[in-house]
Amino acid sequence: MFNKIKIIPEQNKKYFTGYPNNVCVVGVQVDDKKNFMPAAWNVGLSYNPFLYGVSVGTDRYTHELLNQADCFTVNFFDFKHVSTIRSLGRSSGSEIDKEKEFNLPISKSDKIDAPIIDSAYCTLECIKKNQITIGDHTLFVGEVISITVDKEIYNGEYGTLDTNVISPLGYLGIDNYITLDHNSRTSLKKLPMHYRENKLR
């Protein structure tokens, strides 16, 4: 039984009730300046075309760069990289070179001018299709033109992430991180549907 309270959101307060989110690190480059910023607010937006969104505060240095760039990468990490991801979030590319400061292993993409982080288990290479300012953030919409992923992690057995091999990094707010319990994993694929087969997407 719940014992529920009502909270009326106040200005300038942050609420973390919708978390956890799977953190990504956005990679962007303008001229010679590369930068990397963790974004808890990242989300799928469309299957066809395959569009992915990252929401970035308008006061962030990464916002300036994404504003000028025409592409970016979205990089996903195992929980073991938690300290690096936190450091990337609690520093600003306007003051330091994050690649050097945190010894990030970086590759060039052969398709777009945005850096790939090699320690990520998965990288989405995105061409910026749109940017929509919503409140104090901008949603950058990218078309995913290439997915780089470890073949053991995204394999035929599941058609989804193999959580036995990888422990994705979840964010709960206020510098709290968590990962998944692989043993809780449940497939309900074989249950009957409630509507007609030909109406399934």
21 binds a copy of itself (CB under 8 A): yes
The SS3 of residue 38 is strand
- Identity of residue 47: Y
- Identity of residue 42: N
Nearest to a copy of itself of 28, 52 (CB atom) = 52
Q: Which residues is 53 bridged to in the sheet?
A: 43, 141
Q: Which stretch binds a copy of itself (CB under 8 A): 26-34, 63-71, 72-80?
A: 72-80
141 binds a copy of itself (CB under 8 A): yes
CB 81 within 8 A of CB 131: no
100 binds a copy of itself (CB under 8 A): no
77 binds a copy of itself (CB under 8 A): no
Q: Which stretch binds a copy of itself (CB under 8 A): 28-36, 64-72, 158-166?
A: 158-166
7 binds a copy of itself (CB under 8 A): yes
67 binds a copy of itself (CB under 8 A): no
> With CB under 8 A, what is the number of residues at the site for a copy of itself?
104
Maximum distance among all Cα pairs of the chain, rounded to whole angstroms: 57
Nearest to a copy of itself of 113, 150 (CB atom) = 150
The SS3 of residue 136 is coil
State which of residues 14, 32, 103, 156 lies at the interface with a copy of itself (CB under 8 A): 14
Please count the other Cβ atoms lying within 10 Å of the Cβ belonging to residue 79. 16
The residues in 162-201 that bind a copy of itself, with binding defined as CB under 8 A, are 163, 167-168, 170, 172-182, 184-189, 191, 193-195, 199-201
CB 88 within 8 A of CB 58: no
CB 36 within 8 A of CB 85: no
Q: Which stretch binds a copy of itself (CB under 8 A): 30-38, 62-70, 87-95?
A: 87-95
22 binds a copy of itself (CB under 8 A): yes
Q: Which residues contact 93 (CB under 8 A, 6 or more apart)?
A: 33, 35, 36, 37, 61, 62, 65
- Identity of residue 40: A
The residues in 37-66 that bind a copy of itself, with binding defined as CB under 8 A, are 40-53, 55, 57, 59
CB 144 within 8 A of CB 128: no
State which of residues 33, 81, 91, 131 lies at the interface with a copy of itself (CB under 8 A): 91
